[in-house]
Structures are given as structure tokens and as C-alpha cells.
Structure 1
Amino acid sequence: MNTNTTPDLDQLDDAVAAAAFRRLVRHLQHRHDAQNIELMGLAGFCRNCLADWIRDAGFEGDKAAARELIHGMPQEEWKATRQTPATPEQLAAMEASIARNKTD
């Protein structure tokens, strides 16, 4: 069963889904202590993935604009002020987690 296209989820009102998405993005903007590498290691996605997904969904901005929207600031500023160096353990967890992602 492909859990990415659950019929119940597809029936969710777009306004409700959009509100939940905005809440998620604002939460991640506030919780900059949750590093992208940790999100990737645990869940197989991060802020950059969300930026890619909004572009896939029709956002007309380029990659930099999408990442700025999700990060709440230009990505280079976010990296300089929020991102910490990844440890070998974090990188290994990320690789293992990404391997579990389904490709559709």
C-alpha cells in the first residue's frame, strides 16, 4: 500500500491542508535547533525537501526563493546562523533513513 496517496488524505480540504502546512513550516522556522540533518535521519525529509515539494506543487519561484520561504530567510543566512556541522553519526542516520524513502 502506498501511504503517500491515502484516499482519506486526498479528501482533506485544501484550506485545511494549507493551514497545517503553514503551521508545520512556522514550527520548523521557530525550532531551528531541529537541524535538517537530524530531520533527514529521523524522518527522511527536511526543510529543503519541503522547499522542493512546494516547487513540485507549482510554486513559481526558483530553488533559492522556495528555500527562503521555508527557512524564513535566505538559505545562506540560515546556514551561517542556524546550521551546525553534521557528525558522522548524523550522516549515517540520514543515509539509512533516505534509503527507506519510497520513490514514486
Structure 2
Amino acid sequence: MDDQTRIELEAAAFRALREHLMEKRTDVQNIDMMNLAGFCRNCLSRWYQEAANERGIEMGKEEAREIFYGMTMDEWKANYQTDAPPEKQDAFKTSFAENVGNKG
């Protein structure tokens, strides 16, 4: 497989993942994703931001999130985010420290 085809397939897979998380499974909470898998929608938007920054494209965290989410974080939270019980919040702190550290 040539490099261009690989890049196109990787981009298609990313778009499918984004669509799945943003349109088909809005019920899945970021905190649950982070606690179970060590990443969430915010991580995906941060990786997008980091890739842009590495290529000399200035992009901040909020801009990257709005691009990934297709809306502001305030809109996402109002429409889809639910309150997490204390035990999930505690697990999140551990998962975040292990998987994101000071990158978040």
C-alpha cells in the first residue's frame, strides 16, 4: 500500500470514529470513555490540535474542541453531558493522571 492510500484510509477511519462518537453514541459520556479506555473526545480533539500545531497551524484547545465536536463545549455539555457520581469522578482523576498527565 502506498503512503497516500494509507493516509486516506487512516483519515477515513478517524472520520468514522468521530461520527460514531458525535452522532451515533452521544449517550456515551467522556468520563466513562476515559475511565475505561484512557481517552475521550477531548483527547481526540487535543490530538487534532497537536497535529495542527506540529504543522505550524495555530490552534488552541477550544478551537480544536469546537472543530471536533461540531459545537462549543458549552453546547455539548448542555445537550449531552450528565452528572457523574463521585466514584466515577475519583476514577477519572486516576485515569486522567495516568493517560493525560499535564497535557490536558
> Which of the five TM-score ranges fits, normalised by the shorter chain?
0.7 to 0.9
Residue 19 (structure 2) aligns with = 26
Q: For the aligned residues, what is the CA RMSD? A: 2.1
How does 1:37-48 map onto structure 2 within 5 Å? 37-48=31-42
Ranges of 4+ aligned residues in structure 1 off by more than 6 Å: none
Give the Cα separation in 1 of the matches to 2:94 and 2:74. 26
Give the Cα separation in 1 of the matches to 2:14 and 2:21. 11
Q: Judging by fraction of residues, say which structure has more helix.
A: 2
2:43 to 36, 44, 49: 49
| Superposition TM-score, scaled by structure 2 size | 0.76
Change (3 A) 1:89 1:53: same
Cα distance, 1:72 vs structure 2: 2.0
1:71 aligns with 2:69: yes
Cα distance, 1:48 vs structure 2: 0.8
Change (3 A) 1:79 1:102: closer
Question: Which residues of structure 2 form unaligned runs of 5+?
Answer: none
Aligned residues: 92
Change (3 A) 1:50 1:102: closer
Give the Cα separation in 2 of the matches to 1:80 and 1:52. 21
Cα distance, 1:101 vs structure 2: 3.1
Secondary structure at 2:52 match in 1: coil
